[in-house]
Amino acid sequence: MGGQELLLHEADLLSTTSQKYGIIVSNPPYLTSLWCDEVSAEVAWEPRSALDGQGQDGLSLIRRLLGGQSTMHLKEEGALFIECDYRQTNEVAPYSRSTTSIILPLPRIYLVMSV
């Protein structure tokens, strides 16, 4: 990274920090319990707790993150990169649109879709 220090933070989402960050990267569990049973062999080796996002749609942790934690902890012009399943984009995408602005310097949320 060109000699720049990179701070990694491991916690229950952002519950243990009061800092603001320029970039937050999150790959939370996001699959439904049913989808966990259908994953390919290359994913099946992962612990179930790393895959199962809990709840009917698997978005329990993502909702916690997008429901305020990320925007409270992003600097102006900051960005959140978060992974979700392509089947969840209709549910998750509105958070991206609602926090992105061309006119105002608001934090941005980028979705990384898994296919």
One-letter amino acid identity for 47?
P
Q: What is the pLDDT of residue 112?
A: 52
- What tens digit of pLDDT does each residue of 21-39 get? 888 888 889 999 999 999 9
Distance, CA of 32 to CA of 38 (rounded, Å)? 10
Give residue 59's domain range. 21-114
Residue 11 lies in a domain: no
Residue 29 lies in a domain: yes
* Number of domains, the chain: 1
Residue 92 scores a pLDDT above 50: yes
C-alpha torsion sign, points 36, 38, 82, 54: negative
Residue 6 lies in a domain: no
- What tens digit of pLDDT does each residue of 61-91 get? 988 888 778 878 888 878 888 888 888 888 8
Residue 5 lies in a domain: no
Residue among 26, 25, 45 at smallest CA distance from 36: 45
Residue 76 lies in a domain: yes
Residue 16 lies in a domain: no
Q: What is the pLDDT of residue 109?
A: 53
Tell me the whole-structure pTM to 2 decimals. 0.73
| Longest pairwise C-alpha distance within the chain | 45
Residue 7 lies in a domain: no
Q: Are 80 and 70 in contact (CB under 8 A)?
A: yes
Q: What is the pLDDT of residue 102?
A: 29
Distance of CA 3 to the CA centre of its chain: 27
